[in-house]
Amino acid sequence: MACAAYTGSHSCDPPRRGAEMKQLDLNLLRTFVVLLDKKNTRIAAESLATSQSAVSKSLSKLRLYFADELFTRVHSGLEPTPRAIELGKQVGTLLTMLDEVITDTPSFDAQQFDGDITIAMNGFISNWLGATLCTALLKQAPNAKINIINWDPNTLERIKEGSIQLAINYSPIESSKQFVQHKVAVDQYVGLVRKEHPLAGKRMNEKQAKQAAFASLVVPAWNENLPFINYYFQQNGITANTQIRSSYLHMLLDVITTSDLILPCSAMLAASLHEQYATVEFPFPTPQELSSILVIESQNKRRHPMQTWLVNVVSCTLDSLSRAVHA
């Protein structure tokens, strides 16, 4: 598909340039937009779900077409030339037209895809979703390399760069308009305890909440400063007694197996561990921060066929698990 491009004063041969315009396809233009944004061929390739060599070849074609270097190599990556900056301002507001360009890319074939898929997850979520999601992804994309990593302070920046395709966390997540958040499931906040715990299978009252002792799973950039049980109880006038905090779930599970400590966690996680542990209901409604499960992705890449496929697999997997738990 051909598209219009810059035809300003740098064109010394307008008739020839106008004829060659038909050869400047949308994929080349899209590569230019991403390079202008990322200023790095490797990161641009990850963002475009292609190879670094393909980006370099596209850049060579763009340089030939516009008769300009467009980008020069510097220590930090690529630096746009004045011509590239001018084009960035003139060619149909390039950065904002990226979404429209993406819709013209070829359809994504999951069966043939052999690249990386990286998904960041909240630790509460990865422990019950990770394995099932990996199985679902590999069933449709058997040659893919799946990376499930922890949500951390750099997650949103890496989504923007393209090294992470999407992330899964509880709401609300503070982010800019560069990201899209989809609510894909609903969860509840419960206490996980050993089966012989005095409150196993019961709903604790406020007096018991004041007397209880808790263990807390630490998730970077989410609850590392304050356990959610403390925040949750504070909203209801109770000071929670959190005695142990750790980012290692298996350690915390061992702790509650041999004590009366309560591990506040996702109801979905508790359901996956129901054979070994029991649950306790809290005396207050689940807070918003632990009720809605979100998928977060880049605004610029949300219409890419691979991205659409990936979000759909995640949504369907979450829906299937949620229905099984709440059946």
Tens digits of residue pLDDT in 238-276: 999 999 999 999 999 999 999 999 999 999 999 999 889
pLDDT of residue 147: 96
- Asked if the domains at 116-186+291-326 and 189-290 fall in one CATH topology, the answer is yes
In this prediction the pTM is 0.67
CA 145 to chain centre: 16
Class at the top of the CATH hierarchy for domain 189-290: alpha beta
pLDDT of residue 221: 80
| Phi/psi of residue 198, nearest 5 degrees | -55, -25
Instruction: Name residue, tokens 């922890």.
Output: 150
265: left (phi over 0), alpha (psi -120 to 50) or beta: beta
Candidates 3.20.20.30, 3.40.1160.10, 2.60.40.10, 3.40.190.10; correct CATH number of 116-186+291-326? Answer: 3.40.190.10
pLDDT of residue 282: 96
- List residues bridging with 225 in a β-sheet: none
pLDDT of residue 327: 64
Question: Using CA atoms, how far apart are residues 48 and 41, in angstroms rounded to an integer?
Answer: 10
| In contact, 155 and 272? CB cutoff 8 Å | no
Instruction: Name residue, tokens 């129901």.
Output: 274
pLDDT of residue 217: 94
Task: Select from 185, 179, 163, 127 the least CA-distant residue to 317.
Answer: 185
- For domain 14-102, the question of CATH label 1.10.10.10 is answered with yes
Task: Select from 17, 13, 16, 15 the least CA-distant residue to 4.
Answer: 17
| In contact, 71 and 59? CB cutoff 8 Å | yes
Low-confidence ranges of the chain (pLDDT < 70): 1-24, 90-107, 289, 326-327
pLDDT of residue 120: 97
Domain boundaries, the chain: 14-102, 116-186+291-326, 189-290
